[in-house]
Chains A and B, each alone.
Chain A
Amino acid sequence: MEHKRITLFAGHYGSGKTNIAVNYALHLKESYEKVNIADLDIVNPYFRTKDSEAFLESRGIHLISSEYANSNVDVPALPAEAYAIIDDESIRAVIDVGGDDRGALALGRYAPSILRQNDYEMLLVINKFRPLTPDCASTVAVMHKIETAAGMKFTGIINNSNLGDETSADDIIGSVAYAQAISEASSLPIKMTTVKEDLYESVKDKVPDCFPIRLYVKQSWAKAITE
């Protein structure tokens, strides 16, 4: 897919925006020198892009996040540095927006500048295995709420349907119809369907625009530990 200067990932709470944003930033880094990723999540107290900061910086990707992320300061603060990626046109920017309309509200602050430059892609991340967005109608309802809160319209869809560790190839293949229904209802194109790297080979011929992703958050309490 073509790369706009700013790519925003928004969607229902828990749809997988943060991990996709990290994967996408790494993907961009293959083609561009200056890639920044900004964490605008004002909803989640844990499991933030901040968890991947050292890793991202080691790959030459600068992370912009609230200085309070992952600390004990429980305030929904936005990083001042976020303006830099809006204004500096030499940067390829990935923006990880907080979940639902509540999270997307923070985007409203930056929307006028992004719209004025008109070189962005705003992608709706969807997951049919989330219980409050299991079908087209519920997902499109969330989509409209986010657009209203953000003051921006989506330009495409990322089908990130997954069941975490237990995702099977059939789960992904079966999610395509769900994504297509949302695409038709919203008139937005499906930009990609994400798939865990280990399932990529088994689904790539059956799912259009497959994008292999890796889960970058590794915790000591996770079921399987990869050191």
Chain B
Amino acid sequence: MAEKVLMKGNEALAEAAIMAGCRHYFGYPITPQTEIAAYMAKRMPLIGGTFLQAESEIAAINMVYGAAAAGKRAMTSSSSPGIALKSEGISYLAGSDLPALIINVQRGGPGLGGIQPSQSDYFQATKSAGHGDFRLIVLAPASVQEMVDLTFKGFDLADKYRMPTMLLSDGTMGQMMEPVSLDMGEVKEYDKSSWAACGTKCEREHNVVNSLFIQPDELEKYNFERYERYAQIEANEVMYDEYRMDDAEICIVAYGVAARVSQNAIDKARENGIKVGMIRPITLWPFPKAVLNAAADKVKSFVCVELSMGQMIEDIELAIRCKKPVLLCNRTGGMIPTTADVLSKIEEANNIGGDK
């Protein structure tokens, strides 16, 4: 389908998952991601797939575990508090080296919070998606087109590295409508025969999918091996976008909806003669540390724009080794920064000397 269609972010994501070969979707409704489940409920029966509304988020993630263990591309989606409920299952997926795609269309928190958009699950996604030593690849779309592209990419990365991958979206991305192309090319197939529990036909030894290890040294060995894989991902899979950074003296760092507001603010600030640009992380893990650290040698200050009380800002400060000041421009609880909010923070950053 090369021609463009007009889609809501959540629908586009669901269709992209189907096009990526996902035929097993397990979910439980929660605003603002319910359109994903509604779309899957309509489409999956028409294409021989499985849509199942589980009895809870915990059940849904464990159904994903089952389908993934059988070597199938599986997906679940939820929003912030629902992802917290899935965290045990996510850790089990990681501990069993199973690929799966987990979608978080973030809403305001903590607690039941609210249904309006938020980015306050950054810590949860990048640092604490569950217990134990593990990582998730975390992808952050900033348009409906990227909801599509990164869903497709997310399944591929999950299979390539045999690990759960998260698409960290937010309510705005899920609910907004934009024209998209669903032309994503071929799905790359990965050989899962060495580990998938999909029937021996009495022709081979059993494949065992498991995260329990009786001997601690064995568990340690697997953890070390897994982190060697994570190091490869950090070396090879970082994705980011640069906007007007060539001569920038101020660097905005923002992802998702915050990056869209920031881009409009940058254009306005440039009209006022302020040299500001943006580095937009597309992978939140692996975080684009090297490009930020290099930028820190050129710019005089950074502005982190996020819909949280300041979470990604810690990774920016670490990435740049605290070489330059990082200002925070934020709204939370379901509120979105305005262009004027970002513009005034850019002006503040512009008044900071470059000597720190």
**B261 in contact with A72 (CB, 8 Å):** no
Verify if B131 is at the interface (C-beta below 8 Å from A).
no
Complex: A72 Cα to B334 Cα, angstroms: 9
- Shortest C-beta distance, A138 to chain B (Å), equals 11
**A164 in contact with B6 (CB, 8 Å):** yes
Number of interface residues of B (CB under 8 A): 33
Verify if A183 is at the interface (C-beta below 8 Å from B).
no
**Chain A residues whose CB sits within 8 angstroms of the CB of B264 once the complex forms:** 220-222, 225
**Chain B residues whose CB sits within 8 angstroms of the CB of A112 once the complex forms:** none
**A46 in contact with B171 (CB, 8 Å):** yes
Cβ contacts B78-99/A at 8 Å (1 or 0 each):
0000000000000000000000
- Shortest C-beta distance, A28 to chain B (Å), equals 25
- Shortest C-beta distance, B172 to chain A (Å), equals 6
Verify if A66 is at the interface (C-beta below 8 Å from B).
no
**B339 in contact with A220 (CB, 8 Å):** yes
In the complex with contacts A46-B171, A221-B257, A221-B261, A132-B42 CB distance below 8 A: yes
In the complex with contacts A45-B31, A129-B4, A132-B42, A164-B116 CB distance below 8 A: no
Partner-contacting stretch, out of B120-128, B173-181, B216-224, B244-252: B173-181
Verify if B71 is at the interface (C-beta below 8 Å from A).
no
When the two chains form the complex, which single residue of A14, A74, A134, A222 contacts B8, counting CB atoms closer than 8 Å? A14
**A45 in contact with B115 (CB, 8 Å):** yes
Verify if B323 is at the interface (C-beta below 8 Å from A).
no
When the two chains form the complex, which single residue of B6, B117, B334 contacts A14, counting CB atoms closer than 8 Å? B6
Verify if A194 is at the interface (C-beta below 8 Å from B).
no
In the complex with contacts A14-B177, A72-B108, A164-B177, A220-B6 CB distance below 8 A: no
**A45 in contact with B5 (CB, 8 Å):** no
Verify if A162 is at the interface (C-beta below 8 Å from B).
yes
**Chain A residues whose CB sits within 8 angstroms of the CB of B182 once the complex forms:** 131
In the complex with contacts A220-B261, A220-B264, A221-B260, A46-B175 CB distance below 8 A: yes
Complex: A72 Cα to B108 Cα, angstroms: 9
**A72 in contact with B115 (CB, 8 Å):** yes
**Chain A residues whose CB sits within 8 angstroms of the CB of B336 once the complex forms:** 219-221
Complex: A220 Cα to B267 Cα, angstroms: 13
Determine which residue in A45, A162, A220 has the highest number of CB atoms from chain B within 10 A of its CB, and name it. A220
Task: Work out how many contacts link A and B, with CB atoms closer than 8 A.
Answer: 76
- Shortest C-beta distance, A178 to chain B (Å), equals 13
Q: Which residue of A lies closest to B265 (CB)?
A: A220
Determine which residue in B8, B42, B179, B257 has the highest number of CB atoms from chain A within 10 A of its CB, and name it. B179
The B39-80 residues at the A interface (CB cut-off 8 A) are 42
**Chain B residues whose CB sits within 8 angstroms of the CB of A222 once the complex forms:** 260, 264
Complex: A74 Cα to B42 Cα, angstroms: 23
Verify if A166 is at the interface (C-beta below 8 Å from B).
yes
Verify if B269 is at the interface (C-beta below 8 Å from A).
no
**A165 in contact with B339 (CB, 8 Å):** no
Cβ contacts B317-348/A at 8 Å (1 or 0 each):
00000000000000000101111000000000
- Shortest C-beta distance, A32 to chain B (Å), equals 31
**A131 in contact with B261 (CB, 8 Å):** no
- Shortest C-beta distance, B13 to chain A (Å), equals 13
**A163 in contact with B4 (CB, 8 Å):** yes
In the complex with contacts A72-B334, A220-B337, A162-B114 CB distance below 8 A: no
**B15 in contact with A46 (CB, 8 Å):** no
The B114-168 residues at the A interface (CB cut-off 8 A) are 114-117
**B5 in contact with A74 (CB, 8 Å):** no
Across the A-B interface, give the 5 residue pairs with the lowest CB-CB distance, nearest first. A72-B114, A221-B260, A163-B179, A46-B175, A131-B5
Interface residues of A (CB under 8 A from B): 13-14, 44-47, 70, 72, 74, 127, 129-132, 134, 162-166, 219-223, 225
The 9 sampled A-B contact pairs (Cβ below 8 Å) are A45-B115, A46-B116, A46-B175, A72-B116, A129-B6, A131-B182, A165-B179, A220-B336, A222-B264
18 further A-B contacts with Cβ under 8 Å, apart from A14-B11, A164-B178, A220-B336, are A14-B6, A14-B8, A45-B32, A72-B108, A72-B115, A72-B116, A74-B115, A129-B4, A129-B5, A132-B42, A163-B5, A164-B177, A166-B179, A220-B338, A221-B172, A223-B260, A225-B264, A225-B339
